[in-house]
Amino acid sequence: MLVGLVGAPNKGKSTIFSAMTTNEVAIADYPFTTINPNLGIAYATKKCVHGEFNVQCRARNSLCTNGIRMFPINMIDVAGLVEGAHEGKGMGNQFLNDLSAADAIIVVADASGRTDSNGNKGSGFDPIADVEIVKGEIVEWLAGILDKHMNMIARRDDGAEAIYEVLASFKVTKEQIEVASSKASLLLNKPVWSQNDTKHFSKELLKISKPYIVAANKYDIQDPQTQKNIDSLKSKFGNEIVIPCSGAIEFALRKAAKQELIDYVPGSRDFKWIKDDPSKERMEALKYMQNFVKTKGTNIQDLINSTVFGLLDNITVYPVEDENKYTDHFGNVLPDAILIKRGSTALQLAEKIHTNLAKGMLYAVDARTKKRLAKDYVLKDDDVIKIVSAAK
């Protein structure tokens, strides 16, 4: 899974990336701090099932700390964009190409309204524009790719296959192309589309293949306008899509924890002091941040979790070989926790584990009830499942 962080310059995008991944990338108070994409690992979190079974898991494909399972998520922080990027302005199409393989996009907006669409300082700017520009540029970029190939696509009886070939690196499926064309009321048999048609199709395809969530960053800035801007963002894009957050405070807390000044668990609403910082100024800053997380929280962990479990609609399933001891072949307890789309079947889980396991699959077993499950059984969140297969 790959999640892309994107936004106009100077919105705090790289700070959020650093807070999520603890990768210390270039952060500065000027546009285009990020030139080349930054790559890192963030962790989506949820309660591990081992407590329910009174066992201690031995996590293998993820981490488990204090009963919280942590799922590694690939993150990419791409170069900031300005309006007209698809025409070569700012960093041009570089950021768009870097987003090709993303499964979802986090759009970073400045909730304080203190930077314009080019990243210049000021006041009274509308963060809705931060989001609309990003969405518009990605649509224009995708539509531009299709426009360049439309003569070839129009000659094909199977337009969906032709578009799929053109967008081979864009991480879309033929089914998604067919759904998007249907929603846009466009034919796929020797399609002759106008530029408006390709834009309409691109909007629909992006909704399916590259869903977005909004990080309303800098909500720690104490100004009545900040809350008004957040309310406007939620009214425009929806409460579940807009996550108010503070990348700067989360990053500072994680750095302080790394330096063993505090004991801070990402996403928690407090931290414990380990030792005082020799700098009085920094101590006062940490006390301010402690009060902030108690009352509001930085919401950076919520941003990750909302993307993985909400926006992408993943559930967690624990495959085991011994349904009585909840172990794998080597006796490891609940070693793997797999993220899989809600609505997936036991057979699709087997396919995700190994193709041979799926080919020889006979049935599954629910480790809780010990009941046999059909291959088309629809998985539930936190299922513990044994796959029985003829494959060795």
Identify the CATH number of the domain in which residue 204 sits. 1.10.8.470
Q: Verify that 98 and 190 share a domain, yes or no.
A: yes
**DSSP-assigned states of every residue in 64-105:** EETTEEEEEEEEEEPPP--TTGGGT-TTTTHHHHHTTT-SEE
- CA dist., res. 180 & res. 113, Å (int): 34
Q: Verify that 256 and 223 share a domain, yes or no.
A: no
Give how many domains the chain has, as a whole number: 3
- The mean pLDDT value for 38-67 works out to 94
pLDDT tens track for 234-288: 999 999 999 999 999 999 999 999 889 999 988 889 999 898 777 888 889 999 9
pLDDT of residue 250: 95
Domain contains 47: no
Position with higher pLDDT, 315 vs 31: 315
The band of 36, judged by pLDDT with boundaries at 50, 70 and 90, is low
Q: Verify that 164 and 261 share a domain, yes or no.
A: no
Torsion of CA 20, 21, 22, 27, to 10 degrees: -70
- The mean pLDDT value for 373-384 works out to 98
pLDDT of residue 28: 39
Residues of the chain above pLDDT 70, percent: 92
Domain contains 30: yes
Q: What is the domain extent for residue 269? A: 247-296
Q: Which amino acid is at 264?
A: Y
Q: Verify that 30 and 178 share a domain, yes or no.
A: yes
pLDDT at 34 over 60: no
CA distance readout (Å), 140 to 85, 335, 385: 9, 44, 44
- CA dist., res. 169 & res. 357, Å (int): 28
- CA dist., res. 39 & res. 344, Å (int): 29
pLDDT of residue 94: 61
- Output the 3-class SS for 197-256: HHHHHHHHHHHHHCCEEEEEECCCCCCHHHHHHHHHHHHHHCCCCEEECCHHHHHHHHHH
What is the per-residue burial (b if ≥16 Cβ within 10 Å, else e) of 53-84? beeebebeebebeeeebbbebbbbbbbbbbbe
Say if CB 379 and CB 344 are below 8 A apart: yes
The band of 127, judged by pLDDT with boundaries at 50, 70 and 90, is very high
Ranking 96-100, 305-309, 360-364, 379-383 by mean pLDDT, the lowest is: 96-100
Residue 360's contacts (CB-CB under 8 Å, 6 or more residues apart) are 389, 390, 391
Ranking 155-159, 237-241, 280-284, 351-355 by mean pLDDT, the lowest is: 280-284
- The mean pLDDT value for 87-105 works out to 71
pLDDT at 25 over 50: no
pLDDT of residue 32: 40
Radius of gyration from C-alpha coordinates of the chain: 23
Domain contains 68: no
The band of 33, judged by pLDDT with boundaries at 50, 70 and 90, is very low
Which CATH number goes with the domain that contains 348? 3.10.20.30
Q: Verify that 291 and 196 share a domain, yes or no.
A: no
Domain contains 57: no
Domain contains 308: no
Q: Verify that 282 and 383 share a domain, yes or no.
A: no
Domain contains 278: yes
- CA dist., res. 109 & res. 63, Å (int): 31
Q: Verify that 143 and 168 share a domain, yes or no.
A: yes
**pLDDT, averaged across the chain:** 90
In the numeric block, the tokens 């539930």 are attached to 380
Q: Verify that 280 and 361 share a domain, yes or no.
A: no
Domain contains 305: no
Q: Which amino acid is at 132?
A: E
- The mean pLDDT value for 81-98 works out to 60
- The mean pLDDT value for 52-57 works out to 96
Q: Verify that 97 and 196 share a domain, yes or no.
A: yes
Cα angle, residue 38 at apex, residues 34 and 44 outer, rounded to 5°: 125
- CA dist., res. 90 & res. 86, Å (int): 9
- CA dist., res. 385 & res. 320, Å (int): 6
Whole-prediction pTM value? 0.89
- Max intra-chain CA distance, the chain: 72
Q: Verify that 285 and 353 share a domain, yes or no.
A: no
Q: Verify that 146 and 21 share a domain, yes or no.
A: yes
Domain contains 325: yes
pLDDT at 24 over 80: no
Through-space distance between the first and last CA atoms of the chain, rounded to whole angstroms: 28
- The mean pLDDT value for 38-49 works out to 94
Q: Verify that 171 and 128 share a domain, yes or no.
A: yes
